Amino acid sequence: MTEGEMNAPYSLILIAVMAVVTAFVRFSPFILFPEGRKRPRVITYLGTVLPYAVIGMLVVYCFKGTSFMVYPYCIPELAASALVIGLHVWKRNTLISVFAGVVSYMLLVQLVF
Amino acid sequence: MTKRTFRRAFRDSLPIMAGYLALGFGFGVLLQSKGYSFWWAILMSCTMFAGSGQYAGVDFLASGATILTTAVMTLIINARHFFYGFSLLDKYKGMGVFKPYLIFGLTDETYSIVCSAQLDETISKRKYFVFLTALNHFYWIAGSTIGAVIGGVLPFSYEGVDFAMTALFMVIMVEQWIRSEEHLPVILGVATTVVCLCIFGADVFIIPSMALIAFELLLFRKKLDKTEVERDD
C-alpha cells in the first residue's frame, strides 16, 4: 500500500462527496424544472441567452491563470488567440482553427518564451 | 444513421480529445505523485468527470481535508455548471434512460458543443448527445489513466496542449458571433467575467460573475427576449 492510500476509506468518502456535489450542481436545473411541468417564461428566456454569455465567461475563465503583469505578458496566449480567431473568421473550420492555435501556442511556450 | 451520427459526434469531439487527453494526463500524474495508484485516477475520472474540480480534489485527498471543506470547495469550483442545464431543459427532453448520464457528463466542453452543434435530420440528436458525452468521458478517463500509470515521464513535452480548450471556446464564440445578430449576451459575459476576475481574483471570481451575468441578462430582458411569441402557452 502506498503513502496516499494509507487512509483509503477516508479518501473514498472524499471522492464520493466530490462526485455527489458535482452531479448535484449539474442536475439541479433539471430537478428544479422537471420535464413536462410548466416553467416560468423567464427561465426559458435565460436558457436561450445563457449559452452566449457562458461561452464568453468560459473564454475568460481559460485565461485566469495568466498574467499581463509578469513575463511573458500573455504574449503566447494573445498571439495564438489572434491566430485562432483570424483563421476561423477566414476558413470557418473548427478543426483547422483549433489545431493551428494549439500548435502555434505549443511552439511559442516551448521554444520561444 | 447511427454510423453517420457517431462519425459526426467523433469529428466534433476531436478538439476535446486533444485537450482531455492532456489535461487528464496531468491529473493522473499529479494524483499518483501523491501516492495513489492508477485505480484512484480511474475512479475519480469515472465518477466526477470535472477538470478543475479533480485537480483541486487531489489537494483535498493529499491533505486529508474535512468533508465540509471538500464539499464547499467542490461546489464553488464547479458552480459554473449550474448554468448549463437551463439552456438544455428542452434540448435534453425525451432523452429517456440516457438523460441522467447526459446531465452527469455536462462538462464545459460537452456543453459548449451541445449548444452550438447544428444538426440536420440525418443525425439522431439523442444518439449524437450520448456519443459525444461518452467519447469525451472516455478521453478524460484514458488520459488520466495513462498519466497515473506512466507517472510523468514522456519522451516529448506536451506543455501547451491544453490550449485546445481555450481555442475551442473561442471558435464557438466566433461562430456564435457570425451566426447571431444579437451580440449583447456574449459581450456581457466577457466584460462581466473580466471585471470580476480583476476585482475578486482567480480563486473566487466565477460565482460573482455568474450572479452578475444573470442579473444583467434579466435587466436586458425586454431587449433580448425573443421567446415571448412562440411560447405563449
Give the closest-approach CA distance of A70 to chain B in angstroms.
Answer: 15
- Name chain B contacts of A65, Cβ cutoff 8 Å: 202
Residues 6-35 (A) with a CB less than 8 A from some CB of B:
7, 10-11, 13-19, 21-23, 25-30, 33, 35
B55 and B100 inside one domain: yes
Q: How confident is the model at residue B54 (pLDDT cuts 50, 70, 90)?
A: very high
Range scoring the smallest mean pLDDT among A46-60, A70-84, B155-169, B203-217: B155-169
Of A100, A74, A26, nearest to B164 by C-alpha is A100
Residue in B closest to A16 by C-alpha: B47
- Name chain A contacts of B169, Cβ cutoff 8 Å: 55, 58-59, 62
The DSSP line for B21-48 is HHHHHHHHHHHHHTT--HHHHHHHHHHT
Final residue of a domain: which of B116, B135, B162? B162
B193 vs A14: CB contact, 8 Å cut-off? no
Cα three-residue angle B223-B224-B229, rounded to 5 degrees: 100
Of B87, B163, B166, the CB nearest to A50: B87
B204 and B101 inside one domain: no
Final residue of a domain: which of B131, B162, B193? B162
Q: How confident is the model at residue A2 (pLDDT cuts 50, 70, 90)?
A: low
Residue in B closest to A62 by C-alpha: B166
- Name chain B contacts of A25, Cβ cutoff 8 Å: 75, 78-79, 81-82
The answer to whether residue B231 is domain-embedded is no
B41 and B150 inside one domain: yes
Into how many domains does chain B fold?
A: 2
B112 and B28 inside one domain: yes
Give the closest-approach CA distance of A59 to chain B in angstroms.
Answer: 6
Of A56, A99, A105, the CB nearest to B189: A56
B70 and B42 inside one domain: yes
Section A50-58 average pLDDT: 92
The label of the residue with cell 458535482 reads A22
B133 and B199 inside one domain: no
The answer to whether residue B38 is domain-embedded is yes
Domain that holds residue B47: 2-162
B186 vs A81: CB contact, 8 Å cut-off? no
Return the exposure string of B29-45: e unless at least 16 CB atoms fall within 10 Å of the residue's CB, then b: bbbbebebebebbbbbb
Of B157, B131, B159, nearest to B6 by C-alpha is B131
Q: For an interface test with B, which of A1, A62, A91, A98 has the most B Cβ atoms less than 10 Å from its Cβ?
A: A98
The answer to whether residue B233 is domain-embedded is no
Residue A38's region, left for phi above 0, alpha for psi from -120 to 50, else beta, is: beta
What residue segments make up the domains of chain A, in order of their start? 1-36
Q: How confident is the model at residue B1 (pLDDT cuts 50, 70, 90)?
A: confident
The answer to whether residue B230 is domain-embedded is no
Task: Show the DSSP H helices in chain B as ranges.
Answer: 2-33, 38-47, 51-63, 67-77, 84-88, 99-104, 108-116, 125-150, 163-179, 184-200, 206-219, 221-224
Mean pLDDT of chain A: 91
Residue of A86 and A2 predicted with greater confidence? A86
B187 and B103 inside one domain: no
Give the closest-approach CA distance of A113 to chain B in angstroms.
Answer: 12
Section B211-219 average pLDDT: 96
A97 vs B167: CB contact, 8 Å cut-off? yes
Instruction: Reply yes or no on whether the pLDDT at B28 is more than 70.
Output: yes
B102-123 pLDDT, tens per residue? 999 999 999 999 998 989 988 9
Q: Give B70's contacts (C-beta < 8 A, 6+ positions apart).
A: A14, A17, A18, B57, B60
Q: How confident is the model at residue B232 (pLDDT cuts 50, 70, 90)?
A: very low
B206 and B150 inside one domain: no
The answer to whether residue B57 is domain-embedded is yes
Range scoring the smallest mean pLDDT among A109-113, B36-40, B151-155, B204-208: B151-155
B155 contacts A48 by C-beta, under 8 angstroms: no
